[in-house]
Chains A and B, each alone.
Chain A
Amino acid sequence: MKFRLPFLLGGLAVATTQLAFAQGGSMRVPKTVEAGSAFSIQSTGSGQATLYIIGPAQVLKRNVQLGETTTFPAGSLYNAGRYLVVLTAAGASTESDSFDVVPATQPAKLSFLAKPSRLPVSLHDGITGAVYVFDPYGNLIAAPTPVSFELSSPAGTVQKRVVVTKDGAAWTGMDSTAQQGIDKFAARVGDVSSMRVVEQVPGDPCALKMSARQSGQQLQLATDPVRDCNGNAVPDGTIVTFTESYRGGQSTVDVPLKRGVAEVEMPVHSGATISVASGVVMGNQIGWEK
């Protein structure tokens, strides 16, 4: 079957090229057909003939009575593109024409790309959304179509944008809000919508502060609850580095946050300076005297 179809199409194309000049113009086909809708083709003459409609991904074949109207029900052609119509009668002339199948005007599906899926809070234009609008048959609707983008945070703040598609696509940028959590990012065209989630995570620690308490020969160091500059709790597992510098030496421990704080025990050294940092953010320093 794979070999037969190209052979048939090739043969038909050669035949129609040769005969189109002599026989064209006596078959009436619509200029455009909306994908999935019914249409008809009117022929002239008399007798039996075969009608072929050859398109990008479909071939239809009908035995027709010349001089009558051949009707194709809704759903016959659904792939957008240019279609070739060939009417051939045994022992007689072959006629050809063409028409376009255009996407249906009613959107049925959105392909929605939202990036990134995770980003820090308070980032201007940090979130981008791009939408491609498709009809019920998966054809890209190239006609300008308004798309509504909506980003809603758990705190209830909503950012809205309406963008008209250009060549079937629309895109926008949104700001991440100051509060961490899972945002819902929705794109809507008419009754059709698609939703993605965007995780807003805390930024770098802010005003990192620790305190020290001696317990025997050990110094118990603990941070205050670590938060970013918007007051969001920095997630557990974030590394906090404690460094104790003393005469002739230094000790370092990378400690993950647990329940919002980082705690560690380090040996007591009189005259030591203890500092705390997380990533590239420095916290306070403590000078320790016995």
Chain B
Amino acid sequence: MIKGYLLAAFLGIVTIALVIIGTEWPMPSAVAYASGRSLMPSSSTPEAAVRNLGDEIQAQAWQKAYDSLANKAQLTEPEFVRDLHGAYPSLLTYATLANFDVRPLHSSDSEADIDLNLRWSTVVGPAASTRQLHVVKNGDRWQAEWPIVKEPTVPPQVIPVNYLRWDVIYRGPGDDWGAQDVEAPHIRIVDMHPVERAEGTVILGELLNEDVVPAYVTVTATLLSKNKTPLATEGSFDKISHLLLPKQVTPFFIKFPNVALSDVGSIRMAPVSSLIAASADPVIEIGNEQLHPVPDASLTGQLINQSGQIVNVAHVLGTFYDKSGQVVWVADQYIDHALLPQTPVPFQIHIPEDLAKNVSSQRTVVATYSSGGPQ
């Protein structure tokens, strides 16, 4: 009986002690919940200020992020949000910031320059961008100046577009048994080349729509062992331009992880095409294409939308050839901003360094998607 009283008294004393400790030396999260103040560490250093800004962008706390800026006079909060997510619907519109890091460039007592590397999660995979922030000291805290990139706006206008459009009427239930259906587009693989990489085997190639109608295309490959048993089957997924207009060529890239090329006896290719309603618009010029050698082997260039239609998502596919004209690599990049008419947008496609020395020429195609479906 006495032991029970002692235990109760002990628990009461411990509880009171914990309450006192928690009140006098609270955890940061408790302070935030109790007072409504931020969980972020104070912006006592330039890096901390940029890191706080990154946290607020990640949390989509736009107002807090905007309030923390030093150059609020130069941009409004909606302009700040549009700068991050795009003024027109694009990949970034539906993206979230997965993570970020900061890289100090230089600093003094009153100002600093810091790179903020943003890594977004988009519907087609990760997308990275870097903003160089100038950070200034105001009193006892540092504040970042947001480097606003004002996206050009399209002036109100009417742009006549009279490119061809194809629609399809298939056979109906009322047609007799022998009645024809519309023929699927005729497509042909004009090049195919397996390559062994550290991560497995990849199949590179090019596909031609040799018909006079648009085609929706996919390519599937099956690797067969030397005794003709299937090893694996994979498709090109998005490493292809699915919509091919008449006489258009797309590269394709099929990846077989963890399959060694030495185990492969033969490859069975299955290109599939179907009719699709499509438009010959928009026309995209790929300008100023340049191959850069190692280090940072890449193909750079810019896309110029020559049509009046805003392209929400552009997918750039590069085909790289050696001196004999054989495909040595296929790579791609999604453009995270919308393509406005006559407005250049840069792109950069990276080339594996071990293959870059073999690249002699390249060919680039652009697949575009506008709101309402692929065009």
Contact = CB atoms under 8 A, between A and B. Distances in A.
A236 interface: yes
B285 A266 contact: yes
A264 B283 CA distance: 10
Interface stretch (A56-64, A162-170, A196-204): A196-204
User: How big is chain A's contact interface, by range?
Assistant: 35 or more
B326 to A, nearest CB: 15
Residue among B177, B179, B182, B365 with most chain A CB within 10 A: B179
Contact of A250 (B181, B211, B283, B289): B289
A251 B286 contact: yes
Contacts of B177: 111
A111 B211 contact: no
A267 B301 CA distance: 14
Nearest to A114: B180
Contacts, number: 107
Interface in A240-290: 240, 248-256, 258, 264, 266-267, 278-281
B216 to A, nearest CB: 15
B246 A235 contact: yes
A239 B288 contact: no
A238 B183 contact: no
B154 to A, nearest CB: 19
A10 interface: no
B363 interface: yes
A252 B363 contact: yes
Contacts of B58: none
Contacts of B133: none
Contacts of B248: 239, 254, 279
B290 interface: yes
Contacts of B364: 252
A252 B289 contact: yes
Nearest to A185: B180
Contact of B212 (A202, A248, A249, A258): A202
B163 interface: yes
A240 B245 CA distance: 10
A144 interface: no
Nearest to A259: B162
A236 B246 CA distance: 9
Given A204-B210, A252-B364, A254-B283, A236 B181 contact: no
B306 A253 contact: yes
Interface residues of B, number: 40
Contacts of A105: none
Given A238-B246, A252-B363, A111 B163 contact: no
Nearest to A246: B288
Interface string A229-240: 000001111111
A113 interface: yes
A54 to B, nearest CB: 29
B166 interface: yes
A118 interface: yes
Interface string B169-191: 00000001111111100000010
B361 to A, nearest CB: 8
Contact of B178 (A111, A255, A256): A111
Interface string B144-182: 000000000000000000111010000000001111111
A234 B176 CA distance: 32
Contacts of A196: 178-180
Nearest to A278: B247
A248 B363 contact: no
A205 B178 CA distance: 33
A238 B212 contact: yes
A116 interface: yes
A201 B364 CA distance: 28
Contacts of B247: 204-205, 238-240, 278-279, 281
A119 B211 CA distance: 8
A255 B283 contact: yes
A237 to B, nearest CB: 4
A256 B245 contact: yes
B280 interface: yes
A117 B363 contact: no
Contacts of A253: 283-286, 306
29 contacts: A111-B177, A112-B178, A116-B183, A117-B182, A118-B182, A201-B211, A204-B247, A235-B212, A235-B246, A237-B164, A238-B212, A238-B247, A239-B248, A249-B288, A249-B290, A251-B288, A251-B289, A253-B285, A253-B306, A254-B284, A256-B163, A258-B163, A264-B283, A266-B287, A278-B247, A279-B208, A279-B209, A279-B210, A279-B248
Interface of B: 162-164, 166, 176-183, 190, 208-214, 245-249, 280, 283-290, 306, 362-366
Given A239-B246, A279-B249, 14 more contacts: A111-B176, A117-B180, A118-B212, A196-B180, A197-B180, A205-B247, A234-B212, A239-B247, A251-B287, A251-B289, A252-B289, A254-B283, A258-B163, A279-B248
